[in-house]
Structure 1
């Protein structure tokens, strides 16, 4: 089975690529700078491209049965705008090529109908919006693009601080105000859970929050 991974050169993306290869998948990694991807494997194909290049994105997802996005905002306005544009182009490519499964990262800055909102969560969103407005806007924008798409999407909303801790396969998944989340989430656990969703139907067209 072939997967395409966007954001493959980032810290979480490299975890996704490494773990996918260890599971025996054929992996296509779409990156802006191949030098930043330290993984090498016979089953890994690296495609260099930009998120605004729809034709390159189409080429990267052709032949894949699932597409995963480890893209995330950086706090830099131009870069964050590119992520929203890129997610939009990925969704166009999936629709045109008939690829259904799409798993992407978001954060709890994007609200979900299953969340039980509270003053605490509203204050948190206000702080994020004021402290990093371009990141907040990008997350909300591309999360809504995914929600409106016709593919079998799953959005995993990061609810805590990302760390480089080891893989434990122990995560909490649920919704704000309904479930308790820990303060940290290892990138290894996040990548593992993303890959678990490829063959799972539990969270199709849902956006649960996730922590360790």
Structure 2
């Protein structure tokens, strides 16, 4: 099996080196029967993200969509054209544990699945109120069979992705839209808390209705 890890990036110079390092460690844990590669899709970057990606020696594409749905789809279709059969998505402000890919492959070995929806952990609660932390913990289902969708921790087969038409050109909630279409077409989805990533708790969201915006809204409510 050939795995491709797709990472969209818009001005992520502060975070992407750590992300790429964690992904490489996860790749190194795979048995030799698997091959894996990383592809960063840089969207309208004006900082040092490109230089950092080049220094890391990973493959990359550049675009100017300012639309995460188009960015993800561009990267995934490029990876598929280059032989990828399993696509794993994360984000440039996230890090993955060393067993991130191994856990995905174990799910595939245990049962036929077309998609894996993983969970996220918050990397740092220090700048957020205790009320926000408690509200998040109360809301979040960190268990098998959860129903959370994160573009930072989403993986799927080439065949299913192409059959449902891929990520839509949406500036936000492109991940939820993709999962909804997988479900509508009766593809098998594994909702796993064994597959997890650590994601940024920054409140300055790249997508105005993304995860950072969700945390910012919790913080706003906690102080109201």
Give the alignment's TM-score, normalised by structure 1.
0.35
Give the alignment's TM-score, normalised by structure 2.
0.33
Bigger relative contact order, structure 1 or 2 (CA pairs below 8 A, ≥6 apart): 2
